[in-house]
Amino acid sequence: MNLKERILAVSALMSVSGFEARAHAALREQLDGIFDEITADAAGSLFCTRRCGHAGAPRILIDAHLDEIGMLVTEVLDGGFLRVLNLGGIDTRILPAAEVCIYGAETIYGVITSTPPHLQKPDEAKKLPAIGDLLIDTGYSRDKLEKLVPLGTPVGFVPRYTELQNGRIVGKAFDDKSCAAIAIEAIASCERSALAGDVTLLLAAGEETTMLGGTTGAAAVDPDYALVTDVTFGETPDTPKGDAFPLGSGVAISLSAVTDRRLTARTVALAREKGIAFNRSVEPTSTGTDANATQLTACGVPTVVVSLPLRYMHTYHEMLSLDDAEALRALIAAFICDTQTAEEFAR
Amino acid sequence: MLDLVKKIVKAPAISGREDAVAEVIRAQMAPLCDEITRDKMGNLICLKRGSAPDGERRRVMLAAHMDEIGFFVTFIEENGFIRLTPIGGTNFVAAAFTTVVFANGTRGVLVPESGTAANALTFDKFYVDIGAKDKKDAERKVKIGDYFVVEPTVTRLMGKRIAGRPMDDRIGCVVMIEAARRLPAPRDDIYYVFTVQEEVGCRGSKPSAFAIAPDVAIAYDVTGTGDTIGAKPMAVKVGGGAAIKIKDSSVICTPELVAALTATAKAEKIPHQIEILPYGGTDTSSMQMAGSGCAAGCISIPTRYIHSGVELIDLGDVEACVALTVAYLGGEGK
């Protein structure tokens, strides 16, 4: 698998927040041979460990969250319609007419309802629909639907991917499974003997809702130091200056009050040494990622946050650049092989 | 069961001041378990050891919160009227013109300043009149920092329905006590934990779950319903049986545990319903996230008019919650 194929394979899995365990079997198959050990926990996270072969080596945690935003069925209605709640932050402006998969007893297809402009009331176009006002049209009868779709069934966007010019790809759930896939490729690209420690990739559950897996996973691994990778905003003509990064400009390394200064400085130096393109992202006291939980684990874990620019975040048409993906892969690979970091941060 | 409800409802215990109810519950649990402790925060932890051999016994944590919403005294006016601050999510429309009771048994009436419009009912517009002649007289009974609650009551309605307060969450405590009675020889180690400070942010269950490090955790708490006039659409109704939670604002319950509870309820023909609560929070979340985490779920008691003086429940639902717990834990222990 090359990097693009890996990103598409991991992102296409269904791992709506709270239902990540349903992706575990397929993931284990995809990861066959890369890791020495793969285990799951009650939260629904997957722990993938590749060892360096030295006793007493430091434990390095790489965190990318496995879950994606989605919806949850709350009611089955006459005519084959479903009412849903959001899991994670969904912009309801993008929902009307969106295509979805409903992961019940069988996986079925549905379209979210949309009122034609001709039939909209005067002010309707200006108003944001509430999630409870939108329904999913499945084409089934209510009786059949009740059997196929128990209350609490997860719903996700249809996994469909398109490649554009300049190595840009578009599709659902690159937040954060593109980073998960890139981390997998980074670890796979390093010889075991080259690793600076035992590396555990935490594919964390529940980031979009409660940061559950990042919290419990870091506690279980108890690492010497950690790198958290997640998406950040990709620049478009209408994004605010300073909050977004051009696609193709490399990764964004976070300078936040809650990430470790020395580890961040070492990561920046590594990027320079290896000629990896990067920007610096200045954030206040929260990075909005699992790092908020990682760095508070036990007596505190030195944590750096490295992000991938992503346009149209939390939609079914998220867009990333494969050049940035390669930059992130190269930086994670350099990070886990860097003996200077290991010496400085081993407890 | 009604007698037990009345006993447990009666002891006033706001968040952070749970001693009175903890003693009532301890007396009930003492003959039913092997070890009872209170941790530094005040959680009452009752351990019943299981019969399965080492390595096959799961550590199961059950949690219901002992605390209730209420008020602290902040200031006493020269004329003897008592000012207050709310503890937990108080509905001041429901709290207006109620009888309140202090820990020392002093009673008063909680009233808004005269002329306050219904939509301006906030805590700083309220005071308690305990019948004092002036500040000095009031201070004989009440001092700053004392706490009080809307008077606990239980009223029998038609059929198996009762209304009163605080059902939230003494009724969850009742479910756990009743389940302990019917599980004299469980397979698993069961920690019945009566938690503190849930109403102010699920605080007590955090350290207790961290210390116990359970494999499986189940919370017992009230949930809202969609069966009243003007209620938001929601599939849960009073009388519909034990509500097996899928999510609330604080948690997405572990799918395998939701499936196991649902399968148990179906197999044992226990009335049950699926709960998806678009708001609210429970101890479920803090247990799920403590330490390196655990499988967590919640069995909810459908309740109308939550956080008012007339929280309405059906004892048939309470019975279903007990039956589901006993069936799940008394079975193969899977």
Query: From CA A334, how far away is CA A186, in angstroms rounded?
Result: 9
Q: Report the candidate in B155, B171, B152 with the shortest Cα–Cα distance to residue B101.
A: B152
Q: B87-116 burial, b for 16+ CB within 10 Å, e for fewer? A: bbebebebbbebebbbbeebebebbbeeee
Same domain? B14 vs B131: no
Query: If you search the block for the tokens 């038609």, which residue do you land on?
Result: B158
Residues B120, B184: one domain?
Answer: no
Q: In the predicted model, is pLDDT for residue A1 greater than 60?
A: yes
In B103-181, which ranges are E strands? 107-112, 126-129, 147-150, 153-156, 161-165
CB-CB neighbours of A16 under 10 Å: 27
Each residue of B113-141: pLDDT tens digit? 999 998 899 999 999 999 999 999 999 99
Residues B186 and B279 in one domain: yes
A333 touches A196 (CB < 8 A): no
A contacts of B233 (beta carbons < 8 Å): 74-75, 83, 132
Say which CATH number the domain at B102 has.
2.40.30.40
Judge whether B160 lies within some domain.
no
Q: Specify the CATH number for the domain of residue B6.
A: 3.40.630.10
B293 domain residue, yes or no: yes
First to last CA, chain B: 29
Paired tokens of B145:
């920092």
Residues B309 and B226 in one domain: yes
Closest of B67, B119, B112 to residue B89, by C-alpha? B67
Nearest to B24 by CA among B152, B162, B202: B152
pLDDT of residue B333: 40
Task: Name the percent of chain B lying above pLDDT 70.
Answer: 99
A180-186 average pLDDT score: 98
Tokens of B18: 């749970």
Q: Pick from A22, A74, A212: which is nearest to B276 by CB? A: A74
Residue type at position A18: G
**B190 and B250: one domain?**
yes
- Asked if B68 contacts B168 with a C-beta cutoff of 8 angstroms, the reply is yes
Give how many domains chain B has, as a whole number. Answer: 2
CB B67 within 8 A of CB B14: yes
Q: What is the three-class DSSP state of B49? A: coil
B147/B243 same-domain check: no
Confidence of residue B334 (pLDDT cuts 50, 70, 90): very low
Q: Are residues B46 and B89 in the same domain?
A: no
End residue of a domain, out of B151, B183, B205: B151
For residue B183, is it within any domain? yes
Which of the listed residues B120, B151, B182 is the one where a domain comes to its end? B151
Q: Do B175 and B125 fall into the same domain?
A: no
User: How many whole angstroms separate alpha carbon A321 and alpha carbon A327?
Assistant: 10
Distance CA A214, CA A201 (A): 11
Amino acid at the residue A180: A
Whether the pTM exceeds 0.90: the reply is no
Domain membership of residue B94 (yes or no) is yes
Active site residues of B: 198
Same domain for B239 and B279, yes or no, is yes
> Are B256 and A17 within 8 A, CB to CB?
no
> pLDDT of A77-117, one tens digit each?
999 999 999 999 999 999 999 999 999 999 999 999 998 88
CA distance B123 to B196: 23
Cα-based angle A151, A160, A47 (whole degrees, multiple of 5) = 70
State the ipTM, two decimals: 0.79
Do A303 and A227 touch, CB atoms closer than 8 A? yes
pLDDT of B63 reads 98
Regarding whether B192 and B47 lie in a shared domain, the answer is yes
A74 interaction partners in chain B (CB closer than 8 Å): 233-235, 276, 278
Q: Do residues B128 and B216 share a domain?
A: no
What does pLDDT average to over chain A?
95
Report the pLDDT value the prediction gives residue B332, as an integer from 0 to 100. Answer: 45
* Whether B184 contacts B172, CB under 8 Å: no
Give the Cβ contact number of residue B251 at 10 Å: 30
Cα–Cα separations (whole angstroms), residue B137 to B113, B134, B142, B300 = 21, 5, 9, 45
Q: Which domains, and CATH codes, for chain A?
A: 3-68+172-345 (3.40.630.10), 70-157 (2.40.30.40)
Mutation target among B225, B289, B298, B300 for the A interface, most CBs of A within 10 A: B289
How many percent of chain A have pLDDT more than 70?
A: 100
Q: B293, A75: Cβ pair inside 8 Å?
A: no
Domain that holds residue B196: 2-68+166-330
CA distance A169 to chain B (A): 31
Q: How confident is the model at residue A121 (pLDDT cuts 50, 70, 90)?
A: confident
Q: Distance (Å, rounded) from C-alpha A296 to C-alpha A250? A: 28
Average confidence (pLDDT) over A149-155: 97
Looking at residue B331, its pLDDT comes to 59
| Residue B293 touches partner A, C-beta closer than 8 Å | yes
The distance of B120 to chain A (nearest Cα, Å) reads: 27
CA distances from B28 to B32, B54, B318 (A): 8, 28, 18
Mean pLDDT of A140-162: 97
Closest CB to B258: pick one of A43, A152, A215. Answer: A152
Closest CA of chain A from B286, distance in Å: 10
Query: Is B161 inside any structural domain?
Result: no
Would you call A74 and B292 a contact, using CB atoms and an 8 Å cutoff? no
Angle at B42 between CA A292 and CA B170, to 5 degrees: 100
A264-312, pLDDT tens digit by residue?
999 999 999 999 999 999 887 788 999 999 998 888 999 999 999 999 9
Q: Which of A344, A225, A345 is nearest to A295 (CA)?
A: A225
**Residue A12: pLDDT above 90?**
yes
pLDDT reading at B257 higher than 70: yes
Give the B window 272-291 contacts with A, CB below 8 Å.
274, 276, 278, 285, 288-291
Cβ neighbors of A235 (< 8 A, separation 6 or more) are: A244, A245, A246, A247, A309, A311
Residues B175 and B249 in one domain: yes
| Residue B142 counted as domain residue | yes
Domain boundary among B122, B151, B180: B151
- Residue B319 located in a structural domain: yes
Which pLDDT tens digit goes with each residue over B301-329? 999 999 999 999 999 999 999 999 999 99
B58 part of a folded domain: yes
